[in-house]
């Protein structure tokens, strides 16, 4: 039975435990990634251990491991200068899969969960923002050099606008040069 307490194996995120349900999504705790939401209709995972009812007793080792991950995440957050804001994937993409099919039919098709791809895009966006901040704060660059680098970064943002369809909120997406 798939429900709260079920242990699953996701092809990308690894082993996880369903610990909640909100609307059309399961809340799943993955050992290496922490909390993720997966669409209830998503069928890309394997059930390792079915749930034992709607409200099973939590396994103490899972709780300890979850707390350790939260502490590690918070420690990392406190030790970095840039704290990215949480970015949400558009609802229509949650639980979806990106399928890459090569032209050569002898080669294997690659399926990537959209959440994984979106996470990479958001990381790239956040790193560009950090680069932008570092360029603006660099004392060794004169204003003309800063402007050149800033224009280049803006053009990179413009090249990434194709991925804006993935973002839930327009203000979190990429924007390039304004004409």
Scanning the structure block, which residue is given the tokens 């958001």? 122
Domain ranges of the chain: 7-78, 91-172
Of residues 35 and 79, more confidently modeled: 35
Gap between the Cα atoms of 31 and 49, Å rounded: 16
DSSP designation for 167: B
What's the Cα-to-Cα distance from 157 to each of 68, 161, 165, rounded to whole Å?
Answer: 36, 7, 14
Q: Which residue has the higher pLDDT, 116 or 67?
A: 116
Rounded Cα gap, residues 86 and 19, in angstroms = 21
pLDDT in tens, 5-57: 888 898 888 888 888 888 888 888 887 788 888 888 888 888 888 887 655 55
Q: How confident is the model at residue 137 (pLDDT cuts 50, 70, 90)?
A: confident
Residues 36, 115 contacting (CB under 8 angstroms): yes
Inter-CA distances, 30 with 37, 65, 71, Å: 10, 10, 15
Structure tokens at 176: 């390039």
């Amino acid at each position: 039975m798939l429900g709260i307490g079920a242990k699953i194996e996701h092809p990308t995120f690894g082993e996880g435990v369903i610990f909640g349900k909100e609307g059309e999504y399961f809340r799943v705790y993955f050992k290496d990634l922490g909390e993720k939401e997966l669409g209830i209709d998503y069928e890309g995972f394997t059930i390792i251990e079915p749930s034992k009812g709607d409200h099973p007793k939590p396994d103490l080792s899972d709780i300890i491991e979850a707390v350790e991950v939260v502490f590690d995440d918070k420690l990392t957050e406190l030790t970095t200068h840039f704290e990215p804001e949480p970015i949400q994937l558009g609802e229509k993409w949650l639980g979806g899969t990106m399928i890459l099919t090569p032209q050569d039919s002898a080669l294997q098709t690659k399926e990537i969960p959209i959440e994984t791809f979106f996470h990479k895009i958001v990381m790239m966006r956040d790193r560009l923002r950090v680069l932008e901040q570092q360029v603006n704060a660099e004392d060794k660059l004169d204003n003309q050099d800063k402007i050149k680098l800033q224009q280049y970064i803006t053009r990179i943002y413009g090249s990434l606008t194709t991925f804006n369809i993935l973002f839930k909120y327009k203000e979190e997406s990429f924007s390039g040069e304004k004409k």
